[in-house]
Amino acid sequence: MNLDLTWRLLRGGGRKGMLGTWLTLGAVAVSTMLLLFAVTANFAFQARADRGAWRVPVAAASGKAVAVEATRYDYVRGRKITVVDLAALNGRAPAPPGLARFPAPGEAWLSPALAELAGRLPADQLAARFPARTGVLGEEALIHPEELVAVVGHRPDAPEMTAARSDEWTAGSRPTQVADLVGRPSEDARGYQILALIAGVLMVVPLLVFGGAAARLTVARRDQRLATLRLVGATPGQVVGMTVAEAVIVAFAGALAGTAAYALAVPLLTRIEISGGPWFAADLLPHPLVPAACLVAVPLLVGLSAVAGLRRVVVSPLGVAKRETPPAMRWFRALALLAVLAVVPMLGQATSVTVVAVVIGLAFLCVNLVGPWVVGIIGRVTAATARRPAGLLAGRRLVDDPRSAWRTVSGVAMTGFVAGFLALLTPGALATGATPGELRVLVPEGSPSAVAEQARERLGKAGVTATVRRSDKLVGVTPAGHADPATMDRARTALAGLVPGRTPTSDADHEHDNVQIIDDIRSGTVVVLSVSFLVAIASAGITAASSILDRRQTYGLLRLAGTPLTVLDRARRTETLVPLAVMGGGSIAVGVFCGLPFMSGAPDGGGLTMLLVCVGLGFAGVLGAGAASRPLLRSVTADPAPRPD
């Protein structure tokens, strides 16, 4: 319908009109790229969980068992090695993922990273812990490319496969008779998926807001023209059709560009280390249906947003042309936020993740709903108390169009919400900084002295000076002096297999997982904040530029009547800064409030530092993005004789 006319309106918008179209296109491209990232990240964690599942044995029903499987963790140079012990019970044992066949007794298959490390370090520090290498594990067996994994074959009656092991899941899993090697995702893999889902929600909501803002950007510049079309007799349907067609064409191009940009960014994204390693590129390349869905959904959403933005024009063709005072926004927006916040204290660490995600998502959306209303109030106060023209202009602008002012600051306010939420979640004092110290291994009842004697002998042969102590249940080995990593690894290697199926470990090893989780939450937070910032600053820049384009005539005439450029700029800055300060602060407070039920221990300095850095960067970024459009302001006001568009 009227596609030809739409196309001509789009093309014929003039240089400034085209600039707006390009801005929209850029905004949609950025949104699509980040949206793909947020969605794919969840699939990527799913893929990791699936690939790691086979190492978590699930007991077979009686009579169905084909193999025995056990796992334990060993450490080298502070890195964790997952050792999978396997023994076939009969000929039906299937080949494990990443292997061509079931490993025979005495065989060892190492992951590429472990094989590389074993070749690099002296054999008495790593390689001697395992039987001679039979082959290299394929990617399907690994959670990430850098993972250290060893698969060792045994006889089913070997001590490794029969001796009792620790029940703690952090130490691995004890020998289990299994019917297949499918397994189930591990607890921590599921934990990561949940965190990824929360991160996804935190990233997607500002993206949707941003995308919507981008859509209205096209409409905002055209509403005058469309109102004119309406005045000359175009039906509401025709006006809507043309605008939506225009917005959708631009959005589709933007979505395509964003998808391409995402594909190009994948090699960079794979370097983000989570659970101790980077990603396979395949994990971050979404299933073709995902980008396909984006290419449909993004233009659709942008189109819908355009319709919403246009409703006023369509309902009253004179509304836009005459620029009447828009109806005031209602206080019940605030009520919606309060209602959601009232639910928050009922949440806790035991609440189902879906409920948490929904409540946080709702709180997030409500902040966005309340934003314009609060901006309107701020504007009224600013205008009433202003003594200088910049303040008066800024205040009146805020009252006049709180939504557009909110769009400028919403990104940072949303980031403030995220940062406030995460500031409390960053676990603090989990890592006690334990020294490598003593390697301990649990021993079978009644054998401590024999095992201790054997340990002395082995250490002596390996040339490691160490004190060996024993108690009822364990043997402890402390290498002499300040043990360097190489000595520790020689001691570990010497002690490998001392007690079948058990690995001597230190306190530092036990903290390895905790430290890893803290690191991962930090990395995740940095990723989420980076995305939010990118959105916030892009959104601020685009809004600043489009608001200049929208008001170029007013600015031009003001300048002509002798208003210094600095006053115009100061008004623009005030218009952004005042709501930014109020809304940014408010959003951080709401974010902190939503994070309270999930707080574990006192918030640490790291989280607060991050919050402060976030606030600092947010202000600087938005002001910078606004300042970047100053040349545009200069150029649109340079024309001494503005004419109607």
Partner 1 sequence: MNDVLVGQALTKRFGQTVALGGVDLAVRAGEAVAIMGPSGSGKSTLLHCLAGIMKPDGGEVRLLGERIDGMRERARSALRRTRFGFVFQFGQLLPELAAEENVALPLMLSGVPRAKAVRQARSWFGPLGLGGMETRRPGELSGGQAQRVAIARALVTKPAVVFADEPTGALDQTTGQETMRLLVEATRGNGAGLVVVTHDPNVASWCERTVEVRDGLLAVGGVRT
Binding interface with partner 1 (CB under 8 A): 322-325, 386-389, 392-393, 396-397, 399-400, 553-554, 557-564, 567, 640-642, 644
CB of 243 to partner 1, least distance (A): 22
In angstroms, the CA 57 to CA 179 distance is 9
CB of 300 to partner 1, least distance (A): 33
In angstroms, the CA 64 to CA 346 distance is 46
CB of 547 to partner 1, least distance (A): 12
Cα end-to-end distance, the chain, whole Å = 25
CB of 293 to partner 1, least distance (A): 41
459 or 558, CB closer to partner 1?
558
Could you tell me the CA-to-CA distances from 149 to 164, 328, 408, 588 in Å, in that order? Answer: 22, 63, 49, 42
Strands 148-154 and 79-88: parallel
389 or 500, CB closer to partner 1?
389
393 or 488, CB closer to partner 1?
393
CB of 559 to partner 1, least distance (A): 8
What is the CB-side half-sphere exposure of residue 268 using CA atoms within 13 A?
7
Contact present, 624 and 446 (Cβ < 8 Å): no
CB of 572 to partner 1, least distance (A): 13
CA angle 36, 39, 41 (to 5 degrees): 100
Strands 108-110 and 466-470: unpaired
- Tokens found for residue 40: 């794919």
In angstroms, the CA 150 to CA 121 distance is 16
- Tokens found for residue 554: 């007013």
226 or 475, CB closer to partner 1?
226
Residue with tokens 């904040």: 529
Residue with tokens 């005439």: 557
CB of 393 to partner 1, least distance (A): 7
CB of 551 to partner 1, least distance (A): 9
Question: In 10 A of CB 572, how many CB atoms?
Answer: 25
* Residue ranges in 232-273 assigned as alpha helix (H): 236-269
In angstroms, the CA 418 to CA 587 distance is 9
In angstroms, the CA 509 to CA 491 distance is 14
What secondary structure letter does DSSP report for 287?
-
400 or 569, CB closer to partner 1?
400
CB of 567 to partner 1, least distance (A): 7
38 or 399, CB closer to partner 1?
399
281 or 560, CB closer to partner 1?
560
CB of 553 to partner 1, least distance (A): 5
Strand partners, 428: none
Nearest one of 144, 142, 175 to 158, comparing CA atoms: 175
Long-range CB contact pairs, 280-283, < 8 A, 24+: 280/47, 280/139, 280/144, 280/145, 282/47, 283/43, 283/44, 283/47, 283/48
What is the maximal distance between C-alpha atoms in the chain?
100
42 or 553, CB closer to partner 1?
553
493 or 574, CB closer to partner 1?
574
Spell out the residues 6+ positions from residue 384 whose beta carbon is closer than 8 angstroms to its own: 395
CB of 318 to partner 1, least distance (A): 10
CB of 228 to partner 1, least distance (A): 15
324 or 484, CB closer to partner 1?
324
In angstroms, the CA 37 to CA 203 distance is 9
Residue with tokens 């959403």: 301
The number of helices, as runs of H, and strands, as runs of E, in the chain is 20, 9
In angstroms, the CA 405 to CA 618 distance is 16
CB of 14 to partner 1, least distance (A): 17
In angstroms, the CA 493 to CA 502 distance is 13
CB of 383 to partner 1, least distance (A): 9
253 or 567, CB closer to partner 1?
567
324 or 453, CB closer to partner 1?
324
222 or 502, CB closer to partner 1?
222
489 or 550, CB closer to partner 1?
550
Query: Exposure string (b/e) for 42-58, b if CB count within 10 Å is 16 or more?
Result: ebbbbbbbbbbbbbbbb
Three-state secondary structure call for residue 70: strand
